[in-house]
Amino acid sequence: MAVVRSALSLREPVLPPAQRSVPQAGRVYSMSHHRPARADGFIFYALAVTAQLQGTAPIHARNLASLFCDDDEVCDWLHETWLPEERAHAAQIQDYIVRLWPDFRWQESYTRFLHAFRDRRCGTIAAQRAGLSALGCCLMEAEVALMFRVLSAYTADPELKRLMLSISAAKLRHYNFYRDALGRLEKRSPSSALHKALTVLRCQKAVEDGDIALAFRPLNAHWGRNAPFRMMDYPTFLACAGKVMGHFYPFDEARRLLVDPLRRQGPLSALFVALALRYVERLYVARGRLAPSGFL
């Protein structure tokens, strides 16, 4: 047990000095969470990426329903609770974007993104067992909930703070549902601790390899006039996200949420997942990248 406690006592990563200033075309992109939201490029990109990804909920609902086809409780919840709430969150964020940046042609950008997204092979969670699928969903909901909390802590806009906290709370309810489903499914057909740890790493890699980049791609091409902030390219956005996470990401809460679904299933499961989480944290420090999401 001492080994498990040692592995779980992960320290909050500290951004290296090189990540404290964000270069763009040879200049430094100055960030301040005290500036008005309309003039904050990071807030625009983070919300636009999030809204576009949230808009893919019907696609993910179909994929998830096929993964949980033998569990009526999960399938019913997906269509009666999860999908309506995801659609509502997407609409709320979209409404904020359209009101705050009226010169951004939202529908054109979203249509272009959705066409590219549908052309990709969209498997939300690739897992052979329903239990591993539930674990993957659990981890993704936890990460998205925490990223909305980060945005709430970062922004000075009271309206946006309330919206981000409200969506974060809903994501935590989704997390709790998947955690309970995981316990039920694992009793029927348990998965090995190693496969569970690999699921943690797979969730990180799935988003990092494409979803965020795909959602970011059309954002600079659909403005009716100049944006009220300096535009970012994708590497600059990722670097800004890393910087924001370094200040506001609740790492202790992340450890608890990511490891809790496994802790009750034995110390070996918790140990493997804790080691996987250590790897994810090191990856974040090395690359300054956004953690998984449906995340933002």
Tokens describing residue 145: 């909930």
What pLDDT is attached to residue 71? 87
Residue 73 CA: distances (Å) to CA of 70, 82, 142, 185: 9, 12, 21, 11
The DSSP symbol for 80 reads I
262 within some domain? yes
Phi, then psi, of 23 in degrees rounded to 5: -80, 145
Closest to 164 measured CA to CA, from 226, 264, 244: 244
Our measurement of the distance from residue 137's CA atom to the centroid of its chain's CA atoms, rounded to an integer in Å, reads: 11
Looking at residue 60, its pLDDT comes to 87
Domain membership of residue 68 (yes or no) is: yes
**Domain coverage including residue 146:** 36-287
Q: Is residue 217 part of a domain?
A: yes
- Total of domains in the chain: 1
pLDDT of residue 288: 46
Task: Look at residue 7 and tell me if it is in a domain.
Answer: no
129 in a structural domain: yes
Please indicate, yes or no, if residue 247 is contained in any of the structural domains: yes
H helices of the chain, in order, are 2-8, 41-54, 57-67, 72-77, 83-100, 106-119, 130-154, 158-188, 193-206, 212-216, 234-248, 251-263, 267-287
52: in domain: yes
Supply the pLDDT for residue 270. 65
Q: Is the residue at 49 inside a domain?
A: yes
Give 12-43 pLDDT, tens digit per residue: 333 333 333 333 433 334 455 556 889 999 99
Amino acid at 93: I
Tens place of pLDDT per residue across the chain (296 aa): 333 333 333 333 333 333 333 334 333 344 555 568 899 999 999 999 999 999 999 998 998 888 888 889 999 999 999 999 999 999 999 999 999 999 999 999 999 999 998 876 444 444 456 778 888 888 889 889 999 999 999 999 999 999 999 999 999 999 999 989 988 887 777 766 667 767 766 666 655 557 888 999 999 999 998 899 999 999 999 888 888 888 888 877 877 787 777 666 666 666 666 666 665 565 555 444 433 333 22
Q: Residue 16 burial by CB count (10 A; 0-12/13-18/19+): exposed, middle or buried? A: exposed
CATH number at residue 131: 1.10.620.20
Q: What is the CA radius of gyration of the chain?
A: 19
Question: Which pLDDT value is given to residue 188?
Answer: 77
